[in-house]
């Protein structure tokens, strides 16, 4: 089967769901592709099947996703679940696999709403079994209803506090929070505080979370440095230095978090223009206000275009849908502008808190540019010192270090080591981030079997556009 | 160590095999979550160093949780449990391939 749709949406999180629903409402044929069993993305993961008690633990912001998910399910959007996208072409063709069967469809316009992933946290011991991301802890709660007992959370950022309070609510309070935020981070964030007051509701939620942790008696160690996970074959504890003293906390489960970054695998693979965001320490594809990328066939919605959070992603999805409808001639430029205007205003309000959050919860230098003996590429066991050695030999960019030492060549295809390699090469060569660049990404974007590839039959295209 | 959220272990129970070990899970869980809930954190070994590795991101990005199901490499975090599932860890240079 090979269908032509007006609009293909990749990703079914808040950005993808609102984009698909909005486009469908205006009479476009829409196909939404997503890897999960149900719509929701990571933030509203499994919200349709979450038992009442679980949803109560996860909180009101999670439950808010239920209505959006239901609206999407009732919208007439063709939602392909368990669909792993492995190739996106410049003409809007998208190849994906569902349960081992490959298919290819084409969109007159494609909205990329593939969202974010957690920043890599290369610290000593982070490859030991039992070390996961804070997002992983939340996924275990949302999808599988299990919680860690006596876990230690390490890192920085709002998600660290959110997951900690959810664990408290679930009767599994973390043993400790080891935080990398320093006093000087807070001082650096102060100039952004007044504008952030527009987002006072979000600030208030943050205060509530911190108060809940204090109430629950969860120890918090601030300004932690020299963090190391001890053990080997399995986690035994976390050793760190805080307030001038070295300390070890014993645990078998550690969750790491250093914020989230746009997932740029698809946008890189189709050669869209990207820029480095110094406040968010990550690359993001360049878009205009309406999500239009450097290729007229592609819009980008949500965190994949820069981190803004779930509410901003939903607004951005709607705006991208209007842009897509305009691109394929379903609505006029003036209709698009008129409808986007109030949404853009709401986005500005939603994003008011971002510069404060970006400055107050930065990844520390030791995470951005790890010590020589720390593994940075988990797939191929490449260490930071290896990259520095290749730089000394004359490597100027990540594709060269990849050829020298295999970093980025494993099954994750550089998703976790990419930014770290770029950052180390910036440090070593003195070039700018854009100049150093990132891995060249090619299809298949996720490992597939030859059998899956061979199952891709490509007969005549069936026109499903309206 | 992991435990079920209070009241959730009463959901429909499913069992499957990890090699010759019986794993108990509930409907809707991922294979990765089911193994973690049964105290298993080492899913594979690094092909380079042979050191143990386990799930990291649980959202289909890192490929640390890859196991064999019916002889095919799959991400344990992206696969839901089914009764009678037969899960194997990937053989390595040190563990060898069992026939």
pLDDT in tens, A303-319: 999 999 999 999 999 99
B64 touches chain A (CB under 8 A): yes
- Please tell me the predicted confidence (pLDDT) of residue A84: 97
- Across chain A, which distance is largest between two alpha carbons, in Å? 69
Q: Which residue of B has its CA nearest to A139?
A: B58
CB contact under 8 A, B37 and A416: no
CB contact under 8 A, A147 and B5: yes
d(CA A59, CA A209): 11
Burial of A104 (0-12, 13-18, 19+ CB in 10 A): middle
The residue-averaged pLDDT of A403-425 equals: 97
ipTM for this model? 0.95
CATH architecture of A120-258: 3-Layer(bba) Sandwich (3.50)
pLDDT in tens, A345-378: 999 999 999 999 999 999 999 999 999 999 999 9
The residue-averaged pLDDT of A421-433 equals: 98
B91 touches chain A (CB under 8 A): no
d(CA B56, CA B62): 7
Domain ranges of chain A: 3-117+261-331, 120-258, 365-431
Measuring CA to CA, which residue among A7, A14, A5, A12 is closest to residue A317? A14
- Please tell me the predicted confidence (pLDDT) of residue B95: 58
The residue-averaged pLDDT of A278-302 equals: 98
Nearby residues of A373 by Cβ (< 8 Å), 6 or more positions away? A124, A383, A384, A385
- Please tell me the predicted confidence (pLDDT) of residue B98: 46
The CB-based long-range contact list for A241-245 (8 Å cut-off, 24+ gap) reads A242/A178
CB contact under 8 A, B42 and A380: no
* A461: closest CA of chain B, how far (Å): 30
Asked if B75 contacts B60 with a C-beta cutoff of 8 angstroms, the reply is yes
The residue-averaged pLDDT of A35-40 equals: 96
- Please tell me the predicted confidence (pLDDT) of residue A148: 98
The residue-averaged pLDDT of B78-95 equals: 87
pLDDT for residue A1 is more than 60: no
pLDDT in tens, A216-265: 999 999 999 999 999 989 999 999 999 999 999 999 999 999 999 999 99
Q: Provide, as residue numbers in chain A, all residues whose Cβ is less than 8 Å from the Cβ of B72.
A: 100, 449
Helix (H) or strand (E) holding A265: helix A265-269
- Please tell me the predicted confidence (pLDDT) of residue B94: 61
Q: Which pTM does this prediction carry?
A: 0.96
Tokens, residue A459: 């007969």
Selected for mutation to probe chain B from A145, A377, A386 (highest B CB count within 10 Å) is A145
pLDDT for residue A186 is more than 90: yes
d(CA A281, CA A279): 6
Q: Provide, as residue numbers in chain B, all residues whose Cβ is less than 8 Å from the Cβ of A149.
A: 1-3
CB contact under 8 A, B29 and A144: yes
DSSP for residue A92: S
* A44: closest CA of chain B, how far (Å): 13
Burial of A306 (0-12, 13-18, 19+ CB in 10 A): buried
Q: Provide, as residue numbers in chain B, all residues whose Cβ is less than 8 Å from the Cβ of A57.
A: 5
Measuring CA to CA, which residue among A11, A66, A13 is closest to residue A314? A13
- Please tell me the predicted confidence (pLDDT) of residue A412: 95
* A345: closest CA of chain B, how far (Å): 32
**CATH of region A365-431, choose from 3.40.50.300, 1.10.10.1100, 3.40.50.1010, 3.40.50.1000:** 1.10.10.1100
- Please tell me the predicted confidence (pLDDT) of residue A107: 98
Location of structure tokens 């959810």:
A166
Q: Provide, as residue numbers in chain B, all residues whose Cβ is less than 8 Å from the Cβ of A380.
A: 48
Task: Nearest by CB to A415, from B36, B54, B61: name it.
Answer: B61
The residue-averaged pLDDT of A391-415 equals: 96
Asked if A408 contacts A402 with a C-beta cutoff of 8 angstroms, the reply is yes
CB contact under 8 A, B58 and A46: no
- Specify whether domain B12-88 bears CATH 3.10.20.440: yes
Q: How confident is the model at residue A459 (pLDDT cuts 50, 70, 90)?
A: low
- Please tell me the predicted confidence (pLDDT) of residue B9: 65
d(CA B34, CA A157): 29
Tokens, residue A112: 């990329």
- Please tell me the predicted confidence (pLDDT) of residue B7: 76
pLDDT for residue B44 is more than 80: yes
Q: Do domains A120-258 and A365-431 have the same CATH topology?
A: no
Q: Provide, as residue numbers in chain B, all residues whose Cβ is less than 8 Å from the Cβ of A145.
A: 4-5, 8, 11, 26, 28-29
Q: How confident is the model at residue B99 (pLDDT cuts 50, 70, 90)?
A: very low
d(CA A56, CA B5): 12
Mean pLDDT of chain A: 96
d(CA B53, CA A157): 26
CB contact under 8 A, B41 and A171: no
- Please tell me the predicted confidence (pLDDT) of residue A456: 87
Domain ranges of chain B: 12-88
Q: How confident is the model at residue A465 (pLDDT cuts 50, 70, 90)?
A: confident
The residue-averaged pLDDT of A1-30 equals: 95
Q: Provide, as residue numbers in chain B, all residues whose Cβ is less than 8 Å from the Cβ of A114.
A: none
The residue-averaged pLDDT of A188-205 equals: 93
Tokens, residue A294: 């450097």
Measuring CA to CA, which residue among A181, A177, A180, A368 is closest to residue A254? A177
Size of interface A-B (CB pairs under 8 A): 137
Asked if B76 contacts B85 with a C-beta cutoff of 8 angstroms, the reply is no
B51 touches chain A (CB under 8 A): yes
Asked if A118 contacts A44 with a C-beta cutoff of 8 angstroms, the reply is no
pLDDT in tens, B62-72: 999 999 998 89
Measuring CA to CA, which residue among A231, A240, A10 is closest to residue A114? A10
CATH architecture of A3-117+261-331: 3-Layer(bba) Sandwich (3.50)
- Please tell me the predicted confidence (pLDDT) of residue B91: 86
């Amino acid at each position: 089967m090979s269908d032509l749709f007006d609009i293909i949406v990749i990703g079914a999180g808040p950005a993808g769901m609102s984009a698909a629903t909005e486009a469908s409402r205006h009479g476009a044929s829409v196909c939404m592709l997503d890897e999960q069993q149900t719509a929701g993305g990571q933030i509203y993961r499994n919200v349709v099947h979450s038992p009442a008690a679980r949803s109560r633990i996860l909180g009101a912001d999670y439950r808010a996703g239920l209505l959006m998910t239901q609206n999407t399910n009732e919208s007439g959007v063709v939602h392909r679940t368990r669909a792993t996208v492995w190739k996106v072409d410049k003409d809007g063709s998208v190849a994906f696999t569902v349960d081992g069967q490959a298919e290819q469809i084409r969109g007159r316009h494609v909205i990329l709403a593939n969202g974010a992933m957690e920043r890599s946290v290369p610290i000593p011991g982070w490859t030991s079994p039992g070390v996961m991301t804070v997002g992983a802890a939340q996924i275990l709660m949302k999808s599988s209803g299990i919680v860690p007992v006596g876990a230690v959370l390490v890192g920085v950022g709002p998600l660290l506090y959110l997951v900690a309070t959810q664990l408290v609510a679930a009767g599994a309070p973390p043993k400790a929070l080891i935080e990398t935020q320093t006093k000087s981070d807070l001082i650096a964030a102060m100039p952004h505080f007044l504008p952030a007051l527009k987002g006072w509701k979000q600030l208030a939620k943050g205060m509530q979370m911190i108060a809940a942790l204090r109430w629950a008696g969860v120890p918090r160690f601030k300004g932690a440095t020299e963090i190391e996970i001890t053990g080997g074959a399995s986690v035994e504890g976390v050793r760190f230095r805080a307030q001038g003293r070295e300390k070890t906390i014993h645990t078998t489960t550690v969750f790491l978090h250093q914020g989230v970054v746009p997932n740029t695998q698809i946008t890189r693979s189709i050669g869209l223009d990207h820029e480095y965001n110094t406040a968010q320490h990550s690359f993001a594809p360049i878009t205009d206000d309406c999500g239009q990328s450097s290729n007229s066939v592609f819009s980008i919605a949500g965190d994949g275009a820069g981190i803004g959070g779930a509410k901003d992603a939903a607004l951005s999805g709607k705006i991208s849908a209007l842009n897509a409808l305009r691109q394929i001639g379903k609505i006029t430029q003036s209709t698009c502008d008129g409808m986007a205007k109030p949404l853009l205003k709401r986005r500005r309000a939603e994003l008011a808190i971002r510069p404060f959050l970006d400055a107050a919860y930065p990844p520390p230098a030791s995470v951005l540019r790890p010590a020589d003996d720390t593994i940075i590429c988990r797939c191929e066991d490449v260490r930071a010192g290896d990259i520095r050695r290749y730089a000394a030999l004359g490597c100027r960019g990540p594709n060269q270090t990849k050829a020298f030492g295999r970093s980025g060549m494993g099954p994750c295809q550089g998703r976790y080591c990419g930014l770290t390699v770029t950052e180390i090469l910036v440090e070593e060569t003195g070039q700018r981030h854009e100049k150093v660049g990132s891995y060249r990404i090619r299809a298949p974007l996720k490992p597939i079997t030859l059998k899956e590839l061979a199952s891709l039959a490509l007969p005549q295209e069936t026109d499903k556009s309206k | 160590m992991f435990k079920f959220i209070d009241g959730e272990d009463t959901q429909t129970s499913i069992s499957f095999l990890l090699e010759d070990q019986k794993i108990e899970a509930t409907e809707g869980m991922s294979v990765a979550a089911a193994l973690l809930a049964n105290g298993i954190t080492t899913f594979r070994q690094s092909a380079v160093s042979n050191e143990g590795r386990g799930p990291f991101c649980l959202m289909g990005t890192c490929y640390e949780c890859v196991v064999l199901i019916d002889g095919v490499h799959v991400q344990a975090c992206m696969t839901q449990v089914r009764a009678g599932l037969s899960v194997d860890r990937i053989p390595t240079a040190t563990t060898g391939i069992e026939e």
